Amino acid sequence: MNGSTGSDLMFPFKMGPFHLSHRVVLAPMTRCRALNTIPQPAHVTYYSQRTTPGGLLITEAVSVGDRGFGFPHSPGIFTDEQIHAWKAVVDAVHARGGIIFCQIWHVGRASHKVYQPNGDSPVSSTSRKISDDWKIQMLGGTLENYSTPRALATSEIKVIVQQFREAARNAMIAGFDGVEIHAGHGYLIDQFMKNKINDRMDEYGGSIENRCRFALEILSAVTEEIGTERTAIRISPVVDHLDALDSDPMALGLYLAAKLNHFGLCYMHLTQPRYNARKVKKEDLPSFHDCHSLMRNAYKGTLMSTGGYTRESGMAAIRNGEADLISYGRLFISNPDLPWRFRLGAVKLNKYDRATFYTHDQVVGYTDYPFLYLEDDKRGRQRSKMISNEGSLCLRSAL
């Protein structure tokens, strides 16, 4: 835990070099609104709507290279045009006093040939495909089975490590405050770490040490490029999304926590399963609480947690010391002023429309959710100023 001045979602927190005014974080969420892999003006609106002074936002997952895509209309950060478009987003967030990290990823085998250059096979730690229990969204909105991947040659792994380094460098050029490496949810890094996926016989397969080698090499490259205080990582040892199973997730999590302690990262983002692939609630998963508790005790830095939290459960997690920060996804999609509503203790929250989560409309389901009070931009800025380091004092004077 880097620094705390209270035990509430709305209390300030010192996260490395950043002074956060509250603990409510915009979670990284794929939204499929980019065009030709380039963020649009709607991205500027979307992220600035959800900005508060001293509040932390994490972008949707952003591909490190042209083979890293697995969703329609998702963005990258490996061309000058992409970097320039992201800079407009960052500038808008900074203009409102916010802090924004770029989540960088590679989907690995969680893709289809239509998303790959020249219709090639996706790459992974393995040549085994994701089971047909899972479906991938195609460009036209239909769902199909994932393509069979090609296992990366050992020599190719260094190329992807370098792509993560360059993506972090590009994020700094765009003005981001830091990057979050996506190492969970069954995507490429997780495909190396989980032994129910990784069947390699080289130095990147077999033991926990070998399976985590790829992730740690990426961390080393990124921290060397931009510094540890601007680097974070997201992991999900217990989550079985996209067949990402491990025979001993607690051992994997504890090994990662011990290794991450040596880096002195800005934060570790731990994903809890709301439901696993078998539709079992997280409260009924015997390894859920054990893994979280063990990792909380083992990891010495700032811990961010996510996974179906409400205002009440988020408050409890902070008060009980289970996490330092809580990231919100669906609630932040439908409530652009979520920190303000949480501060007020507002019972009224906009309901989210899951049908519009992954559409390509630049407005509907993206920037059209109403604010609690007046919706015009000027009033939005006035509300944002009230969620500042003064916190409750500002709120009392407003009421």
* Residues forming beta bridges with residue 102, ordered by sequence position: 179
Dist CA 165 CA 6 (whole Å): 36
Query: How confident is the model at residue 394, as a pLDDT?
Result: 34
Q: Is residue 6 part of a domain?
A: no
Q: Is residue 385 part of a domain?
A: yes
pLDDT by residue for the chain (399 residues), tens only, comes to 445 545 789 999 999 999 999 999 999 999 999 999 999 999 999 999 999 999 999 999 999 999 999 999 999 999 999 999 999 999 999 999 999 999 999 999 999 999 999 999 999 999 999 999 999 999 988 999 999 999 999 999 999 999 999 999 999 999 999 999 999 999 999 999 999 999 999 999 999 999 999 999 999 999 999 999 999 999 999 899 999 999 999 999 999 999 999 999 999 999 876 544 555 455 555 455 677 888 999 999 999 999 889 999 999 999 999 999 999 999 999 999 999 999 988 768 999 999 999 999 999 999 999 998 744 444 445 544 444 433 433 332 222
Dist CA 399 CA 397 (whole Å): 5
b/e sequence 39-52, b meaning 16+ C-beta within 10 Å: bbebbbbbbbbbbb
Query: How confident is the model at residue 66, as a pLDDT?
Result: 98
Q: Is residue 7 part of a domain?
A: no
Q: Which residues make Cβ contacts (< 8 Å) with residue 330, sequence separation at least 6?
A: 352, 354
CATH code of the domain in which 366 resides: 3.20.20.70
Set 187, 255, 267, 358: catalytic member: 187
Burial class (CB in 10 A: 0-12, 13-18, 19+), 180: buried
Query: How confident is the model at residue 272, as a pLDDT?
Result: 79
Query: How confident is the model at residue 7, as a pLDDT?
Result: 75
The pTM (predicted TM-score) of the whole model is: 0.91
Q: For residue 267, which of 227, 224, 232, 236 has the smallest C-alpha distance?
A: 232
Tokens of 200: 């390699």
Dist CA 285 CA 52 (whole Å): 35
Query: How confident is the model at residue 287, as a pLDDT?
Result: 56
In terms of residue numbers, what domain contains 136?
13-398
Q: Is residue 4 part of a domain?
A: no
Distances (CA, A) of 236 to 70, 127, 128, 254, 305: 19, 22, 21, 12, 10
Q: Is residue 266 part of a domain?
A: yes
Q: Give yes or no: 267 in active site.
A: no
Counted residue by residue, the chain has a size of 399
- Determine the 3-state secondary structure of 260 from DSSP: helix
CB 139 within 8 A of CB 133: no
Q: Which amino acid is located at 105 in the chain?
A: W
Query: How confident is the model at residue 292, as a pLDDT?
Result: 81
Query: How confident is the model at residue 141, as a pLDDT?
Result: 87
Q: Which residues make Cβ contacts (< 8 Å) with residue 11, sequence separation at least 6?
A: 4, 5, 22, 23, 318, 391
Query: How confident is the model at residue 373, as a pLDDT?
Result: 72
Distances (CA, A) of 150 to 9, 204, 347: 44, 15, 49
Query: How confident is the model at residue 288, as a pLDDT?
Result: 56
Tokens of 2: 């880097």
CA angle 111–113–115, rounded 5-degree value: 65
Tokens of 141: 């909105």
Sign of the torsion formed by the C-alpha atoms of 298, 300, 306 and 311:
positive
Q: Is residue 377 part of a domain?
A: yes
* Residues forming beta bridges with residue 19, ordered by sequence position: 14
Q: Is residue 42 part of a domain?
A: yes
- Tell me how many domains the chain contains: 1
Sign of the torsion formed by the C-alpha atoms of 50, 61, 174 and 76:
negative
Q: Is residue 5 part of a domain?
A: no
